[in-house]
Chains A and B, each alone.
Chain A
Amino acid sequence: MIHDLNLMVAGPQGSGINFTSDTFAKVMAREGYHVFTNAELFSTIKGEHSYFRVRVCKDMIRSYSERIDILIPLDAKSVLLHLKELSHDGTIIYEENLDDPRHAAIPYKDILQTVATRFGKALSELNVMKNTVALAGATKMIGLDKEKLKKVISENFASKPKIAEMNNAIVDEVYAEFGQTRTFDLEPTTYKKRMFINSTHAVGMGKIEAGMKFQSYYPITPASDESNYLESIMDKYDFVVEQTEDEIAAINMAIAAANTGLRSATSTSGPGFSLMVEALSYAGMTETPVVIFYYQRAGPATGMPTRHEQGDLKYALSAGHGEFPRVVIAPGDHKEAFYDTIEAFNIAEKFQLPVIVLLDKAMAMSNYTVDPFDLSKITINRGKLILSETKDYLRYRFTEDGVSPRSVPGIKGGLITVAGDEHDEDGHIFTEDADNRIKMMDKRMHKMTSVLKEVPADLKVKFYGSPTNKKVIVSWGSAKGPILDAMEKAKDVSFLQIRMMEPFPVEEAMRYLKGKTIIDVEQNYSGQLADLLREKTGLEASTRILKFNGRPMAFEEMVEVLSKPKMEGREVLTYD
């Protein structure tokens, strides 16, 4: 019996590696297993070497493993590159003969020829279905009912029934002809309904649940998957997704739609966010409730567009000229991405300020199983929005909490004047009165105090593990998964997940970290959260565990570094 099974599909981009791994993952998820995937691809559409990992386990898993049990290379290069990662008792499914006892020899040609003949096709036309041969070989070795695989294939090719039929014929042939010499007996599990999603789906669903009506975006990896998902469902859920001419337009449109009264957002990555920065400052000044979903990728400049990094924390915190209030939050998994999305809109409208939700490539492209969201605990708070006739209205009226009643166009008696210049309570700009400036700055900046007081506690930090442990990890975002998985082995470490970086939860951080040995874990070069922690609390991380090769952290390398008897000040992880 094996506890967790790791499958890798590798090959040139465009050869069906995504389809193969995704189909396998779905089949296993439907068996009731927890499934975690990791996608490593090039910034091209066809040709370059890419690989997908699928990890399957009856218990919760949140990271990928360095070990490969079943390797499906779709070209010779993939054999050369990944055979070294294959475990001793693993198997490699490959069409050509290999001088390796682990090679599973499936009669690829015979199978494809049989099916080609049956469907009146040339053998060459079935070349693209080689991956199905390998996939069926893998599921047979796992002992999976072939009908379950065929069902998922049929669903994936719902619009192309002929293709589905041919692929399923291949499955039948493999199950009949492949006399496998070994099996993989996974510890059994019982079925539980789960979603197999990534954060772009979670955020998308969160936006719909939150009542978002307008999203603008400019195509960019890895953020646009979210907008494209929303586009595919906007007819049913009645909202607008607008693809703009650039990110400057995207943020300005989101701001204008927000000031017209809609919950609105934009989604982007680092280069796009850079173009949005002037308008971010404008949103702060004009007290506009706009939400920016920021999917980080490896920078700087164009960097590695399809690779992972958490390199933009300090940038998100400080981007924009002048001083203005903003909220920066970072979910650490798909579930948090869903709930945080809704909370981001609540915070934005309640305090009338821009909110940045920091995500990353690993979250955007790593699909894994998640329990269905609990919709009963969701609330919507639109703050001081006025949607009926009013009088004596001033858009920037001074109030106790710094938040003014917010009218929108179309409200009788509630004309708004929105201005990015310093303004009076009425929004007009022909004052540069010194006292007014002080009052307006106080008004806006005071919101940060209110945010700290009023946001739910678990949106600020979350603590995992025993409070008595001497060693405490601090980290954020998607590093959470590998950390929690590794803590099941390294039991002498606890974990403080920082969820809100601006305003920074100083009190909570001090409560959990004071007097502890702090280990910072981040997927960037310098340890930006550790710097922030020092700035805000004076607390210093004794170790910074960092990874910046563009790949997320693997389970084993996290365990290994946390188990070191003595860690260096800087520990760099390199697994790819």
Chain B
Amino acid sequence: MISTVSPPAKPQSYKTNVEIDWCPGCGDFGILNALVLALQELKIPNENVVLTGGIGCSSKIPHYVNVNTLHTLHGRSLVQAQAVKMANPRLEVISASGDGDGLGIGSAHFVAAGRRNVDLTYILFDNGVYGLTKGQASPTLPYGEMPKSIETENIKFPVNPLFLGLASGFTFVSRSYSYNIKHLKETLIRAMKHRGLSLVDVMQPCVTYNNINTKEFYDPRLYDIEKEGWNPVANNESEYKQKVPQAVLKSLEWGDRIPMGVFMDYQTETYDEKLQRLVPDYGKKNYVMDPIDSSGKPLNDVTDLMNSFS
């Protein structure tokens, strides 16, 4: 048998040497490149980064980034990413999903994640179709559209990831574009630096199946809301409550002009801080590295608990 194991990446590199199997011209490449550039700029040691993916074309991205990676199940990227961060808050956690993965089969986790506000970055590869199964309509495909890959027009309303993210409690909500690497890289860096749950909704053409939402479609329409005066930062709860409805209104724009940029940036209690209220030593002790036994003998002792039942 010929070993198919890929040659190891250079230790410091954020790119693996695994051969990439996306279609030529796929929007995924832009996201991969922007993510690698962002990691290079932030210089976080590779071993301290965890990237999760679900199932789908985009969810294969973990194999191309030279960090710890969990290629999970369909729809479960975000939920596993949250558990990684809860298990070890010292890690930088990034979660990747397609729109079908994240907002179709995984939508319950998307909503629940907003309630927790775990400090991680969620990248939504948003192309309107299920690419890996040959282009069925995904939850973000606009109403009434009929890309060449589907048999009938789309008679379902689309989910708006930004609106849903704001409604669910994501504390950093943004949109970028896979052909604007500079903006995407900067947005990813801001998302990673944000303490709390960040959403980066990336407009991304599927060159094979979606002949409507193409580069030619997006290029003239996308505009940067921050360049037009929008300040996404909410400094306190009352500013947040005031800004949410405005951000929602902006998120509803679609048509000749499509907004991108950061819609909301609100620093509030993260999940590890909230957990500390319940478990005082949480985050102070290192659950991964601290031993649970000494030469095979447990370090915990349940004698007091046993006594409580007598």
What sequence of 0s and 1s flags, for each residue 78-95 of chain B, a beta carbon within 8 Å of any chain A beta carbon? 011111101110110000
Residues of A within 8 A of B109 (CB): 245, 249
Q: Which of the four size classes fits the interface of chain A? A: 35 or more
Residues of B within 8 A of A238 (CB): 279, 281-282, 285
Determine whether B157 belongs to the interface, using a CB cutoff of 8 Å to chain A.
no
User: Are B84's CB and A257's CB within 8 A?
Assistant: yes
Nearest residue (CB) in A for B2 is A433
Contact for B1 among A196, A257, A411, A435, CB less than 8 A: A435
Contact (A209, B71) CB under 8 Å given A234-B279, A417-B63, A428-B63? no
User: Are B108's CB and A246's CB within 8 A?
Assistant: yes
Residues of A within 8 A of B112 (CB): 244-245, 249
User: Are A439's CB and B1's CB within 8 A?
Assistant: yes
Residues of B within 8 A of A248 (CB): 75-76, 79, 108
Q: Which of the four size classes fits the interface of chain B? A: 35 or more
Residues of A within 8 A of B47 (CB): 409-415
User: Are A209's CB and B4's CB within 8 A?
Assistant: no
User: Are B298's CB and A428's CB within 8 A?
Assistant: no
Stretch at the interface among A58-66, A379-387, A494-502, A513-521: A379-387
Q: Cα distance A257–B111 when bound, in Å?
A: 20
What sequence of 0s and 1s flags, for each residue 3-30 of chain B, a beta carbon within 8 Å of any chain A beta carbon? 1111010010000101101000000000
Residues of B within 8 A of A197 (CB): 309
Given contacts A213-B87, A428-B5, 12 further A-B pairs with CB under 8 A are A208-B300, A214-B83, A249-B108, A252-B73, A256-B72, A260-B83, A278-B73, A378-B297, A380-B293, A380-B296, A409-B50, A417-B62
Rounded to whole Å, the gap between the CB of A194 and the closest CB of chain B is 7
User: Are A379's CB and B296's CB within 8 A?
Assistant: yes
Q: Cα distance A378–B297 when bound, in Å?
A: 7
Residues of B within 8 A of A204 (CB): 305
Rounded to whole Å, the gap between the CB of A200 and the closest CB of chain B is 12
Determine whether A216 belongs to the interface, using a CB cutoff of 8 Å to chain B.
yes
User: Are B108's CB and A418's CB within 8 A?
Assistant: no
Between B16, B69, B275, B296, the greatest number of chain A beta carbons within 10 A of the residue's beta carbon is seen for B69
User: Are B305's CB and A245's CB within 8 A?
Assistant: no
Ranked 7 nearest A-B pairs via Cβ:
A211-B292, A245-B112, A435-B1, A253-B83, A256-B80, A256-B83, A195-B309
Q: Cα distance A259–B76 when bound, in Å?
A: 14
Residues of A within 8 A of B70 (CB): 256, 259, 418
Contact for B4 among A237, A259, A424, CB less than 8 A: A424
Q: Cα distance A194–B48 when bound, in Å?
A: 47
User: Which chain B residues have a beta carbon within 8 Å of chain A's beta carbons?
Assistant: 1-6, 8, 11, 16, 18-19, 21, 45-50, 52, 60, 62-63, 66-73, 75-76, 79-84, 86-88, 90-91, 108-109, 111-112, 275, 278-282, 285, 287-289, 292-293, 296-303, 305-306, 309-310
Rounded to whole Å, the gap between the CB of A538 and the closest CB of chain B is 38
Nearest residue (CB) in B for A394 is B5
Determine whether A7 belongs to the interface, using a CB cutoff of 8 Å to chain B.
no
Contact (A415, B46) CB under 8 Å given A257-B87, A380-B292? yes
Q: Cα distance A110–B86 when bound, in Å?
A: 58
Contact (A410, B79) CB under 8 Å given A208-B300, A263-B292, A375-B302? no
User: Are B279's CB and A239's CB within 8 A?
Assistant: yes
User: Are B71's CB and A380's CB within 8 A?
Assistant: no
Q: List 27 A-B contacts (CB under 8 A).
A: A29-B310, A195-B310, A238-B285, A242-B83, A249-B79, A252-B79, A253-B82, A253-B83, A256-B70, A256-B83, A256-B87, A259-B70, A259-B84, A279-B76, A282-B73, A375-B302, A409-B48, A409-B84, A410-B48, A410-B68, A412-B45, A419-B69, A420-B71, A424-B4, A424-B5, A425-B5, A439-B1
